[in-house]
Amino acid sequence: MSTSAIRPAHDPSTWGPSLDEAVNTVQAGGLVVLPTDTVYGIGADAFDADAVAALLAAKGRGRQMPPPVLVGSVATLDGLATDVPDGARALAARFWPGALTLILTAQPSLAWDLGDTHGTVALRMPDHPTALALLARTGPMAVSSANRTGNPAATTAADAHEQLGASVRTYLDAGEAPGGVASTIVDATGETLRVVRAGAISLEELRTVTAVEDILPPEPEPEPEPEGAPEGAPDASDSVAGASEHSEPAGPVEPGERAEGVAPPTDPDRPGGDAG
């Protein structure tokens, strides 16, 4: 029978044993709850497919909502992503660590399975000392908000434990998370950089670094079918459903995004949406 424990991790002078336990948990394929600069996240080794699947199961999510990946340094960017635009690189240099998530083309040679990412990966470097200390030892972690899908994001380790219980082996408690605004998500997989979720970093701030397009406006509602349309005529609602199904992001996001993964819009679970 699995057990879980909440360990203190707010003071660098005393958090050593707690971090040791968390590192051992990650290396053994277990799940860890960790604080971030937005909310608490639930994390796993990004290169352990079984652990990532367990993370999604703990949250009550499927593969169509893959988690984002948190990294401990800007240098990790090129190891996990390919064809990184100069503009995206400049944004990372300016806003990492911090509330910026970049959706990039994943390195095709990487042996990982984050879910249905369609070849993309959402990366963020959190601005939290406990999270960075853990990432420095574990390497990249798949991290989503520490809550059951549909429930409020956890802002304390106790909140996370109440929702996730024994599905998580180690909880790192660094006090109340800052919460507040989720990270800004920028899609850097197209010809231009584009915001796909507004967040803590404004469009104006992004544009002081490089050219970034605003969020695309929603598609207009289809015209209603005229009365007396001939039988067999296509139903407008069918095309709407189809469009919305195919526009749903398929990549990672962070603690707190709904469409964790590719080009995510917003997540009802919010650490940055997903620890994000």
Task: Report the relative pairing of strands 120-124 and 69-70 from DSSP bridges.
Answer: parallel
Predicted confidence at residue 87, as pLDDT, reads 97
DSSP one-letter code for 191: S
Q: Is the peptide bond before 97 cis (omega within 30 degrees of 0)?
A: yes
pLDDT, tens digit, for every residue of 216-257? Answer: 776 677 766 655 544 544 333 332 222 222 233 333 334 544
The rounded distance, in Å, linking the Cα atoms of 9 and 13 is 10
pLDDT, tens digit, for every residue of 147-167? Answer: 998 999 899 999 999 999 999
Of the candidates 145, 171, 143, which has an alpha carbon nearest to the alpha carbon of residue 158? 171
The structural domains of the chain, with segments of one domain joined by +, span: 5-217+241-247
Predicted confidence at residue 252, as pLDDT, reads 37
Look up residue 73 and give its amino acid.
Answer: S
The rounded distance, in Å, linking the Cα atoms of 118 and 264 is 12
Predicted confidence at residue 160, as pLDDT, reads 96
Predicted confidence at residue 263, as pLDDT, reads 38
Predicted confidence at residue 217, as pLDDT, reads 75
Predicted confidence at residue 181, as pLDDT, reads 79
Task: Report the relative pairing of strands 141-145 and 69-70 from DSSP bridges.
Answer: antiparallel
On whether the 5-217+241-247 domain is CATH 3.40.33.10, my answer is no
Cα-based torsion angle of the residue sequence 160, 165, 168, 173 in order, rounded to the nearest 10 degrees: 40
Predicted confidence at residue 65, as pLDDT, reads 86
Predicted confidence at residue 228, as pLDDT, reads 54
Below-50 pLDDT ranges, the chain: 1, 229-230, 232-254, 256-273
Average pLDDT score, the chain: 83
- Residues comprising the chain, all counted: 276
* C-alpha radius of gyration, the chain, whole number: 19
